[in-house]
Amino acid sequence: MLRIGILYPLHSAEDDYPNMAARLEPPVEVAVAHTEAVDLHTVEDCRRTGDWDHLEPGAAELRTLGVDVCMWACTSGSFVYGLAGAEKQARKIGSYLGVPASSTSLSFVRAIQALGISRVAVAATYPEDLAAEFVGFLGEAGIQVVHLDSLGIWTAVEVGIVGREQVIEFVQANNHADAEAILIPDTALHTTAFLSELDSAVGKPVLTANQVTMWEALRLGGRVQKQRGFGQLFAFAGDAVGEGK
């Protein structure tokens, strides 16, 4: 069985990963290792969260568990370094563990490419200046953000208690006509229990941080398959992109 290593900062919505893993067909295993972080959504603090000094202890824990792939499950702690910086960060994790590795930010890019789209709306939980950093990151990857909105939440703890109805309403409020998909870039937000509802609410793909992180882990592990109940990304994109590369 594929064993996915998840590096996750602090505690908020990490239960999305084992819950989603158990529902996949066939199921996979997830090992979550927590990393230290400053729970404050400022650009400076997010850069500290993604420093190797903060990531290494969690990576060392995963190394003892024999994972097959590893994901740095933190959007803000990867996109704040820019595209090249996020790629370098993922390479370092992968080299340390000796397995394929990526991050949530890079997963968004790969998922958008797999869906064959280029224009998106971003519905961010973050404060505006941090959300703007994500827009810049996407732009480096050739992805056009046609609309941006932010809830302005400063901590992951607060994001972790945002409920299903509020998430759906936030997505609906940001269903820009020119956007081919809507992105929700915070791994602190619970979303994997109602991914298909999000898509249905706006009639287009909604890509959430925990969703794309798991999809990318499966891709790296050569296990992307069509799935029901996990949104359009899992329904269609498995045929659209090479696996394990």
Domains detected in the chain = 3-104+212-239 (3.40.50.12500), 108-209 (3.40.50.1860)
* Residue 39 confidence (pLDDT): 80
Buried b (16+ CB within 10 A) or exposed e, 50-69: beeebbeebbebbbeeebbb
| H or E segment and range at residue 16 | helix 16-23
The parts of the chain modelled with pLDDT lower than 70 are 237-245
* Residue 237 confidence (pLDDT): 58
End-to-end CA distance of the chain: 19
Of 136, 181, 189, 130, the closest CA to residue 159 belongs to 189
Which distant-in-sequence residues (6+ apart) come within 8 Å of 143 by Cβ? 109, 112, 118, 119, 120
Q: What are phi and psi of 146, to 5 degrees?
A: -90, -10
Query: Token pair 């989603």 is at which residue?
Result: 20
Beta-sheet pairing, 206-208 with 181-184 = parallel
* Residue 165 confidence (pLDDT): 97
* Residue 236 confidence (pLDDT): 77
* Residue 240 confidence (pLDDT): 47
Query: Token pair 């994500």 is at which residue?
Result: 134
218 token code pair: 């499966």
